């Protein structure tokens, strides 16, 4: 009797399992609503964007397959799908292309090999532009709000990489900067003498208008020493000086003549603790705009470079964009390099 009951229970369990398997293996048609995003392939200088007005990345697809497989694919499609130039159905040549979403989606890793078919996609096609990118190095301009810095803040990195569509690169000046803002109000309230934070980097308006991508890295670490309320002055002009990098051989540097074409930078903003800028404003201390020359500059030609401000007053630093200046470098002739005799003439 017990054996018959056990056999009946086993049969019932097997029946349930068979029905569950059959239901899972039965074909079904079900919708899914994935979102697609266009991204650059890893290590590539290509970038794609939609040029279809109104396309937000939302796509509706119909899937067919076993109930279990369709369910797995639906869950996978809940995560945005990254579409990159060069994948099946997506050209990698620069220009404007019409891509078929059904063709691309059905070859994605999320679906390929799952046994699920993509019956349709809406919208069926999207127009995209594939662009080549160029990389620019941009200095980070830091704004301190909610308090005052007693000296120039320390920021790392101070320069980030910005990728811009090659066709729009001319719209962005070579000395264009990115921006970062650090709010030190919480440190000011607690009476702390310093503040450290990681803050996001923002593209300038001219970079955004040119279609630039997010800077890399997208954040910078900032350390600010707090002090007296700051004041900012603007000097009409500051003299430009050149300095050879310490790595340049002194004797080699003497063989080259350096001529500053743009002798002054204009409208220079300097910021420092209240009272510290008085000597600069009154002309008792003359700040300098330093152009650092290195071994790569040991050749005939013209160098255009943004100088570094040195206020020559503790706690005062340059606060604002500075125009690039031009420096002409030429070889010293043999006659010019000869020493002058006691009579004032060269031998």
- Residue 38's alpha-carbon distances to 57, 60, 126, 129, 166, in angstroms, are 9, 17, 12, 10, 18
Query: Which pLDDT band, with edges at 50, 70 and 90, does 18 fall under?
Result: very low
pLDDT at 289: 92
d(CA 38, CA 49): 6
pLDDT at 120: 94
Q: What is the mean pLDDT of the chain?
A: 84
Mean pLDDT of 9-29: 53
Give the gyration radius of the chain's Cα atoms.
33
Nearest to 218 by CA among 155, 169, 136, 160: 160
- Report the range of poorest mean pLDDT among 47-51, 151-155, 241-245, 251-255: 151-155
d(CA 306, CA 324): 4
For 13, which DSSP code? Answer: H
In sequence order, what are the residues at sequence separation of 6 or more whose Cβ sits closer than 8 angstroms to the Cβ of residue 69?
114, 115, 116
pLDDT at 344: 47
Nearest to 99 by CA among 130, 73, 74, 63: 130
User: 162 near 207, Cβ under 8 Å?
Assistant: yes
User: 307 near 258, Cβ under 8 Å?
Assistant: no
Angle (deg, nearest 10), helices 67-76 and 2-25: 50
| 277: its two tokens | 């800028």
d(CA 109, CA 129): 23
Alpha-helix residue ranges (DSSP H) falling in 271-318: 278-281
Mean pLDDT of 148-177: 86
User: 99 near 89, Cβ under 8 Å?
Assistant: yes
| 215: its two tokens | 């800077």
d(CA 146, CA 181): 10
- Report the range of poorest mean pLDDT among 87-91, 228-232, 303-307: 228-232
d(CA 278, CA 272): 10
d(CA 129, CA 134): 16
Which run of H or E residues covers position 253? helix 250-253
Which run of H or E residues covers position 20? helix 2-25
Q: How many CB atoms lie within 10 A of CB 149?
A: 25
Nearest to 152 by CA among 141, 161, 160: 141
pLDDT 10s digits, 203-212? 999 999 998 9
Q: Which domains does the chain have, with CATH numbers?
A: 28-123 (no CATH), 134-227 (2.170.120.40), 229-347 (2.170.120)
| 94: its two tokens | 């620069």
């Amino acid at each position: 009797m017990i054996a018959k009951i056990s056999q009946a229970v086993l049969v019932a369990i097997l029946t349930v399992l068979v029905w569950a398997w059959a239901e899972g293996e039965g074909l079904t048609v079900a919708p899914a609503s994935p979102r697609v995003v266009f991204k650059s392939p890893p290590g590539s200088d290509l970038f794609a964007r939609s040029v279809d007005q109104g396309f937000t990345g939302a796509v509706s697809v119909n899937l067919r397959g076993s109930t279990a497989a369709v369910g797995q694919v639906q869950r996978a499609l809940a995560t945005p799908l990254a579409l990159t130039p060069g994948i099946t159905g997506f050209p990698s040549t620069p220009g404007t292309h019409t891509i078929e979403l059904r063709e691309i989606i059905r070859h994605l890793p999320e679906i390929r090999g799952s046994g699920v078919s993509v019956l349709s996609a809406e919208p069926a096609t999207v127009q995209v532009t594939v662009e080549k990118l160029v990389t620019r190095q941009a200095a980070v301009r830091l704004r301190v709000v909610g308090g005052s810095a007693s000296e120039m803040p320390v920021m790392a990195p101070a320069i980030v990489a910005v990728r811009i569509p090659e066709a729009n690169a001319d719209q962005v000046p070579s000395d264009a900067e990115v921006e970062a803002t650090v709010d030190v109000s919480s440190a000011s309230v607690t009476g702390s003498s310093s503040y450290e934070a990681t803050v996001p980097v923002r593209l300038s308006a001219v970079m955004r208008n040119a279609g630039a991508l997010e800077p890399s890295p997208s954040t910078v670490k900032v350390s600010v020493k707090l002090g007296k309320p700051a004041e900012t002055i603007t000097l009409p002009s500051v003299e430009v000086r050149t300095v050879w990098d310490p790595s340049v051989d002194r004797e080699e540097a003497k063989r080259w003549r350096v001529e500053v074409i743009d002798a002054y930078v204009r409208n220079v903003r300097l910021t420092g603790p209240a009272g510290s800028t008085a000597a600069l404003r009154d002309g008792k201390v003359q700040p300098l705009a330093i152009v650092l020359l290195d071994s790569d500059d040991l050749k005939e030609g013209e160098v255009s470079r943004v100088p570094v401000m040195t206020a020559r007053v503790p706690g005062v630093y340059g606060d604002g964009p500075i125009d690039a200046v031009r420096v002409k470098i030429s070889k010293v002739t043999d006659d010019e390099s000869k020493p002058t005799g006691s009579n004032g003439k060269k031998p």
